[in-house]
Chains A and B, each alone.
Chain A
Amino acid sequence: MQAQTWFGYIWELLPGVVTALELTGIALALGYPLALLMALLINSAPRPIAWLSIAFVEVGRGIPLLVLLYIFYQGLPQIDIIPSAMNAAITAFTWSTAGYATEIIRSSLQSVPNGQLEAASSVGLSDSDRFRFVILPQAARIAIPPLMGLAIIMFQLTSLAYVIAVSEVMQAAYFLGTKTFNYLPVFLAAAAVYAAITIPASALVTSIERRLARHV
């Protein structure tokens, strides 16, 4: 395999990286706030609403993302809703992100010691102030590293969107593969593209994790 062609393949995959990052970004921007809402509803809403929230979260975490993608893209047309591939992908990825993130946020909220709550009440903070100024900042410090880890996983999972023809990295690689019949170098190029983003991103998460752990 010639090095030049191989780098050529990487070059052709780059537009796919943009789409993959776009999909990841949108899913996180929608999924994380949704997860915070779900975590709060599960912890403190009246029972029926809390149960609905649990069901929402379990569907997002329990069904493989691949199947969620198919449900929105191939399933919805059965009831005459025909989403674009990108919209179907955004919906599936947001749901999945929200599902996993809810668990992270819930456990970070629970890890704030009870004494903090009692202290906040005893100095007369209102419920909402207690949450905003006492619980949330401490929980955030714990939740940030795993949420960043989840972001990296979601980026890797954008490869699945190829099955519904979103023009991300794997879609581009598969197209190149069928055009040139050079599957091995093409998919190696795709692997290199993912690794080139994942490895530095993971290193960044580890260093942030260490820095945050200093103050816990």
Chain B
Amino acid sequence: MVLYILQGLIWTVIITVGSFAIGSLLGVAVAGARTAASKIVRVLGRIYVEIIRSVPPLVWLFLVFFGLAEIGLKLTPFQAAMLTFSVIASAYLGEIYRGGLATLGRGQIEASNSLGLSRLDLLVRIVSPQVFRTVSPSMVTYGIGLMKDSALASTIGVVEMTFRANQVTQNTGQGLAAFAIVGGAYLLLSIPLGFWARGVDEKMRKKYVVN
């Protein structure tokens, strides 16, 4: 039983890592839109983020899985989960990047312009490394949240841990043991990650806070 449930961990990891990776790339576009020169683009970016955040993840998951099937776009449970969590992650991570961008001094951009660096160089070599450093603890915290949200994929039939624990409960009636295993697995994953994020955060505060 333990082994059967823990085999679901692979789906938890694939969905979490996959949608985090896609979301962190799309998030760059979201942050770009939110800070764009054009007002229309900024407003569109804001609407995107607001709509995604004001509807619970479970509702998005059902809209994508059951709703899209109705208009002819039939996704497998795994595809639906990946699509949903990637899009949700793009909104949250985009906001995290935007917060990091706000802490970047204008002088950095001015200095880079006066050195004659191209816009691409500015983004890749000046802005990204600094922003990434400030936002990485928030990104890890968000990643932990995403991992816990991935349990929702069980509701549309992805055979991850929670889904398997449900099967075990149905077949054996040992619900407490089954779900305790799932809960324990999440704790073992999220507590060390949380400690790590806090450690990185503290280290950075010491290093970068100028009094």
Cβ-neighbour of B58 out of A68, A70, A160 (below 8 A): A160
* A170 and B62 contact, CB distance less than 8 A: yes
Chain A contacts of B186 at CB under 8 A?
Answer: 62-64, 67
Give the size range of B's interface with the partner: 35 or more
* A62 and B51 contact, CB distance less than 8 A: no
- Interface-central residue, B67, B151, B154, B179, by most chain A CB under 10 Å: B179
Give residues 156-184 of A contacting B (CB, 8 Å): 156-157, 159-160, 162-163, 170, 173-174, 177, 181-184
Chain B contacts of A76 at CB under 8 A?
Answer: 175-176
Indicate if A78 sits at the interface (CB-CB under 8 A): yes
Cβ-neighbour of B51 out of A61, A64, A195, A202 (below 8 A): A195
* A66 and B62 contact, CB distance less than 8 A: no
* A194 and B55 contact, CB distance less than 8 A: yes
Known: A63-B183, A71-B179. A194 touches B56 (CB 8 A): yes
Chain A contacts of B176 at CB under 8 A?
Answer: 71, 75-76, 78-79
Interface-forming stretch among B22-30, B33-41, B161-169?
B161-169
Known: A58-B191, A184-B71. A191 touches B183 (CB 8 A): no
- Interface-central residue, B71, B165, B183, by most chain A CB under 10 Å: B183
Chain A contacts of B2 at CB under 8 A?
Answer: none
A117 CB to closest chain B CB (Å) equals 22
Cβ-neighbour of A159 out of B51, B59, B173, B191 (below 8 A): B59
Number of A interface residues, CB 8 Å?
A: 41
B53 CB to closest chain A CB (Å) equals 8
Q: How many A-B residue pairs have CB under 8 A?
A: 121
| Chain A interface SS verdict (over half) | helix
Indicate if A74 sits at the interface (CB-CB under 8 A): yes
Residue of B nearest to A191 (CB): B55
Indicate if B113 sits at the interface (CB-CB under 8 A): no
B162 CB to closest chain A CB (Å) equals 6
A204 CB to closest chain B CB (Å) equals 13
| Bound CA span A156–B162, Å | 20
* A163 and B191 contact, CB distance less than 8 A: no
Cβ-neighbour of A183 out of B56, B67, B165 (below 8 A): B67
B177 CB to closest chain A CB (Å) equals 7
Indicate if A119 sits at the interface (CB-CB under 8 A): no
Chain B contacts of A194 at CB under 8 A?
Answer: 54-56, 59
Residue of B nearest to A201 (CB): B54
Give residues 107-154 of B contacting A (CB, 8 Å): 148-149, 151-152, 154
Chain A contacts of B169 at CB under 8 A?
Answer: 70, 74-75
Indicate if A140 sits at the interface (CB-CB under 8 A): no
Give residues 99-134 of A contacting B (CB, 8 Å): none
Q: Which residues of B line the A interface, CB within 8 A?
A: 50-51, 53-56, 58-60, 62-63, 66-71, 148-149, 151-152, 154-155, 162, 165-166, 169, 173-180, 182-183, 186-187, 190-191, 194
11 contacts between A and B (CB under 8 A): A63-B148, A65-B148, A75-B176, A76-B176, A177-B66, A181-B70, A183-B70, A187-B67, A188-B63, A194-B54, A195-B54
Top-7 shortest CB links A-B: A75-B176, A183-B66, A64-B148, A74-B175, A184-B67, A156-B56, A78-B176
Q: Which residues of A line the B interface, CB within 8 A?
A: 58-59, 61-68, 70-71, 74-79, 156-157, 159-160, 162-163, 170, 173-174, 177, 181-184, 187-188, 190-191, 194-195, 198-199, 202
